[in-house]
Structure 1
Amino acid sequence: MVTILREADRTTVAEAAKKHKVSDATIYAWRKHFGQMEAADVKRLKALELENSRLKKLLAERDLDLEILKEINAKKW
């Protein structure tokens, strides 16, 4: 992605988009979000997003477990 953006900086956006089979709008959106980033920064961002997703899933599972335990505890045997 960053490589394509750097190429679009050297040539035209239309040429880079055609070469990499993406739309001009996609390159402009990437430029808006990732324009100042280097390749290592983008990799780090993706790793953080993946970790964040994993942690959200773990939290949701923990909350579900707590709800189940509360229901079991609330029942009178």
Structure 2
Amino acid sequence: MATRRRRHTPEQIIRKLREGEKQLGQGAELPEVCRRLEITEATWYWWRNQYGGMKGDDAKRLEELERENARLKKMVAEQALDIDMLKELNRGNW
């Protein structure tokens, strides 16, 4: 049976992490907590490494910074291509 993948917002992830930590603190086992949260254990560990200790605002800011970083990387790549093209034109290799 294939499960449907869904995207969680950073706020949802942090909420689920808090809920899971609370359940673990009450003595629940991780596989049971993951079943209740409807995530895999791998997802739990990945989320905890990525978002552990963050607040909702921190996660939102991280997401904004990652988007901005991707945009800037794209700009740098485009500029590098422009520079290479201009160098080729300058050499007369067109």
1:7 aligns with 2:45: no
1:58 corresponds in structure 2 to: 75
Asked which structure has the greater RCO (Cα within 8 Å, sep 6+), the reply is 2
1:19 aligns with 2:36: yes
Structure 1 residue runs of 4+, over 3 Å off?
Answer: 12-16
Task: Structure 2 unaligned segments of length 5 or more: list them.
Answer: 1-12, 25-29
Question: How far has the Cα of 1:31 moved from its partner?
Answer: 1.2
Deviations 1:10-63 (A, max 9, x none): 114434422342102211221122111111111110110110001000100001
**How many residues matched?**
76
TM-score, with structure 1 as normaliser: 0.85
- Match for 2:49: what amino acid? K
1:33 aligns with 2:45: no
Identical columns (%): 41
2:9 corresponds in structure 1 to: none
Q: Indicate the structure with greater helix content.
A: 1
